[in-house]
Structure 1
Amino acid sequence: MQKLAFFILFLSIIGTGDKKQVHYTNDVPVIFKGNFVDDYGIRYTINDTLFIQHPHTKYHIIKWNIKDQYIVARNDEQNPGEGSLYTRIDYMQFSNMEPWKWGFCLSVYNAKTDRVAETTAKADRQNPKRGCNGFPFSRMKRVE
C-alpha cells in the first residue's frame, strides 16, 4: 500500500508528460473573445478555454498560438460529429471589411491527436476566399 501511495505521489509531482495540456492564453487579443455571429448567421461564444459554435458544438481549447494565428482544441465528446477528436482553428484579422473584424477556418477537425491537428493542416491567409481547404474563412462580427 505504501508503494502505491508513493507511486501516486511521484506521478503527481512529475506530471503526466505529453498528456498534460498547457493553455497559452495570456496574450489572446480581446478581439477574438466574446459573442459573435458569422456571415452564415451561426452564433459563437469564445473565451480562453472554449470555442462554442451554437447550439451544440464545443471545442475545448488546448493551445492558442498567437504568433502563427491558430488554436488547437479537443472536440467535445457530445459534439454531433468528430467527438473527442482534435481540431486546428486558424484565424486572421481583416481590414476594410466592416463589420467583419476577423475570420476563422477549421483547417482540420478530425485528427486523432492534438499534435496531428497542430501539424497537419494550415490555412492560406493570402487567399481568404478559398484558403480554408478550398472554402472561404468564416467572417466574424461581434454581437451583444
Structure 2
Amino acid sequence: MKTIFTSVSFTLLALIFCSCKSSRSAGQSRGIEHRIPVLLKGDFIDDYGVQYRIDDSVWVQFPQTRYHILLADTVAQYLIARNDKGNPGDQGLYTRIDYMLFDNMRPFLWGFCLTVYNANSMEEAVNKAAADRQNPRDGCNGFPFSRMKKQ
C-alpha cells in the first residue's frame, strides 16, 4: 500500500511540475512580457507634435493622459494598459496600443495606434482586432499610425 501511495504522489507531483513548466513556456513563446521593448522606452514626440514619456509601467501622453501598462505582447506587437482615473476621458477603462517598427523612415523609428481605448475589460482589449500594419497610412481605424521619434 505504501508503494502505491508513494507512486501516486510522485506521479501527481510530476504532473503539477510539468503543467507549470509548460504553462510558463507557452506564455514566453507568445511573447507576453511585463516589460516593453527597449525601443519604445524614453521621451518621444510624434508627427503631430505631441510629447510622450514611456517606461515599463506608464505611457504618458502630455499634458495629462496616462496609461498604466499591464502587459506587452512582443510577438503580436501590442500593449494592454488601464486608463488612469485622472485622464480627461475613459477613466479606468482599458486600452490596446498596437505598435510597429519602421524601416527607412528616419527620424521616425516606430509608430503606434490606439486600437481601442475604451474597453470594459482587459480581455476585451486583448481580443480587439489588431490594427492593420500592412497599411500604416490608414490602418489605425481609418487613420495613420502616429509616428514616433526620440526627443
TM over 0.5: yes
State the shift of 1:25 in Å.
2.9
**Which of 79, 84, 94 is the equivalent residue of 2:102?**
94
User: Higher Cα Rg: structure 1 or 2?
Assistant: 2
SS at match of 1:103: strand
* TM superposition score normalised by structure 2: 0.77
Aligned partner of 1:140 in structure 2 is: 148
State the shift of 1:29 in Å.
2.6
1:59-109 deviation line (CA, Å, top 9, x unaligned): 000000001000000000110010000000000000100100000000000
- 2:34 touches 2:70 (CA, 8 Å); kept in 1? no
SS at match of 1:31: helix
Aligned partner of 1:109 in structure 2 is: 117
Unaligned runs of 5+ in 1: 1-22
Once residues 104 and 66 of structure 1 are traced to their aligned partners in structure 2, the CA distance between those partners, rounded to angstroms, is: 14
Q: Is residue 71 of structure 2 the alignment partner of residue 47 of structure 1?
A: no
Give the root-mean-square deviation of aligned CA atoms: 1.1
* TM superposition score normalised by structure 1: 0.81
SS at match of 1:134: coil
Unaligned runs of 5+ in 2: 1-31
Deviant stretches of 4+, over 4 Å: none
Aligned partner of 2:27 in structure 1 is: none
**Which of 33, 45, 66 is the equivalent residue of 1:37?**
45
Aligned partner of 1:76 in structure 2 is: 84
- 1:108 touches 1:121 (CA, 8 Å); kept in 2? no
**Which of 25, 36, 43 is the equivalent residue of 2:34?**
25
State the shift of 1:117 in Å.
0.7
SS at match of 1:61: strand
SS at match of 1:107: strand
- 2:69 touches 2:80 (CA, 8 Å); kept in 1? yes
Aligned residues: 120
Give the aligned residue type for 1:60.
Answer: H
Once residues 31 and 115 of structure 1 are traced to their aligned partners in structure 2, the CA distance between those partners, rounded to angstroms, is: 26
Which of the two has greater helix per residue? 2
